[in-house]
Copies of this chain bind each other. A is one copy, B any other.
Amino acid sequence: MTDPAVALREILGPKGWLSGDDAEPFQRDWLDRYGLQPLGVARPASTAEMAAVVKACRQAGLAVVPQGGNTSLCGGAVAAQPNAVIVSLSRMTAIGEPDQESGSIAVDAGVVLAALHDALEPHGLMFPMHLGAEGSARIGGLIGTNAGGSQAFRYGMMQDLVLGLEVVMPDGAVWDGLRAVQKDNAGYQLRKLFCGSEGTLGIVARAILRLYPTPKQQASALLVMSDFAAAVSFGAFLRGEAGEFLTGLEFFSDVGLALALKHLPDLAYQLESRGDVYLLVELASGSTRVPLDDILASALEWGMEQRLVVDGALANSSAQRARFWRLREEQPEGQRLEGEQLKHDISVPPGAIARFIEAGAKICDNILPGVRINPFGHLGDGNIHYNLSPPEGRSDFNGKAGEFAEALAALATEMGGSFAAEHGLGRAKIAMADRNRAPIERDLMAQLKRAFDPQGTMNPGVLVRVRQ
């Protein structure tokens, strides 16, 4: 039998097959928690090459690990077994011409999200997905993890934005589902099923995505809210009064603001007062005839009258808007620079955010008194990035990481929410899913996995554990 590495190099050519030191940059995950040395990294330049690689791996019984931009926070895109082959999307980066009248575009799975944004800009079109990793994350990975981000409450998650897919199946066969229509009820919604399947059912090679016209005007405001309950009420009010314009409804806490200001000296906070919680509101419109600033100003006025809004400012320039957004966007970085941290990717029904914050604080303070809680995220869909830093004066969590994670997962579950809102399960959260979800749900997922990948070679050990 041929050495599989030799066979793969043959398929891919020297630029397409990396091993030894060349493979090293692909080995570890974003948070440096997972990743064994792979047999090598396959970098196919086409669907046909990708299919040949997968087929060869299947024949040799090698695990296949799809990798997009390698920004997974759950270890879903690196190897956990020896001799795995990482299939990197990094050489499949073609962006098609957008179809203006249909509002869609065909792209290779290796396209970086920010590159897609840039490519669409001159056409007056946008792909409405924005998230912290957009400079690295690739479309295939975003589909595989069913990415959400800050505009998901308005435009949907990846599953809502995918019209068609081309997927290399675990045996190397290619499913061509590259249709360009929203309405296609000819059987099970395979295109949706692959969204969020974390590369365990196949590898997305190409996609047709839904596009929207770029808005012609925006209005942004940074608000100090009296508390989380006020933020929730104000969010509901905005949905009622300006719902069709809402493109951003981000919140962060004073804990996070303080950390960001402490560690990022060029960051500026320019409102007069501080509070427990801040809201970044953004409206956008495709019509120039909408008095967007007035609508936002009126909403603020109402919020102040109701004593929900303590202080606030409308952005009067795109520079000021960028400064507002940076306060929100630097939340993860400020906390990272503070030292050790624990991240939890929670969602609860939006109306329950304040209750979650209150109950979560009690739970966390019981586990480790003084632990600093830094929740930030997306008010519109109830997605809370519930991050912790050790108590002042401590540098660690006294071995309580697992206890925090489980208690918060149980609380989110109890409130009708999720402990894996938008980052997926990867390798990190399989046991948590097994504990927090009913056996029938996990069994259904195992059955699905077995149906699509009976030999279990496609990203094994991610999302669901399957006995072969």
Please state if A183 and B152 are interface contacts (CB–CB under 8 Å). Answer: yes
Q: A169-B440, A185-B196, A240-B286 are in contact. List 17 more A-B contacts (CB 8 A).
A: A101-B349, A124-B240, A175-B438, A175-B440, A177-B441, A181-B382, A182-B381, A184-B418, A184-B420, A186-B433, A187-B442, A187-B445, A188-B193, A188-B197, A189-B196, A289-B298, A450-B451
Which residues in B have their C-beta under 8 angstroms from that of A69?
none
CA distance A239 to B182 in the complex (A): 16
From 194 to 223 in chain A, residues with beta carbon under 8 angstroms from any chain B beta carbon are: 195-197, 208, 212-213
Q: Please determine whether B186 and A233 come into contact, CB atoms closer than 8 angstroms.
A: no
By a CB distance below 8 angstroms, the chain B residues around A159 are 189, 192
Most buried by B among A101, A350, A352, A433: A101
Does A6 sit at the interface, judged by CB under 8 A? no
**How many A residues are at the interface, by size bracket?**
35 or more
Number of copies: 2
A263 within 8 A of B: no
Within 8 Å CB of A351, what residues of B? 99-102
0 or 1 for each of A5-39: is its CB under 8 Å from B? (1 = yes): 00000000000000000000000000000000000
Closest CB in chain B relative to A13 CB, distance in Å: 27
Q: Name which of A57-65, A314-322, A325-333, A423-431 contacts chain B.
A: A423-431
Q: Are B183 and A148 in contact (CB under 8 A)?
A: yes
For A244, list chain B residues within 8 Å (CB). 244-245, 284-287
Q: Is the CB of A419 within 8 A of B186?
A: yes
Chain B residues with CB under 8 Å of A232's CB are: 101
Shortest distance from the beta carbon of A140 to any chain B beta carbon, whole Å: 16
- Within the complex, the shortest CB–CB distance from A436 to chain B, in Å, comes to 8
CB contact under 8 A between A186 and B349, given known A179-B418, A180-B417, A382-B102 = no
Given A232-B101, A233-B101, A383-B183: A444 and B153 within 8 A (CB)?
no
CB distance from A295 to the nearest CB of B (A): 6
Task: Give chain B nearest CB distance to A114 CB in angstroms.
Answer: 22
Contact between B294 and A146 (Cβ–Cβ < 8 Å)? no
Q: Which residues of chain B are near A235, meaning CB under 8 Å?
A: 101
Residues 255 to 310 of chain A near chain B (Cβ within 8 Å) = 284-287, 289-291, 294-295, 298
Contact between A418 and B193, CB atoms less than 8 A apart = no
A178-B416 contact given A101-B350, A185-B145, A190-B441, CB 8 Å threshold: yes
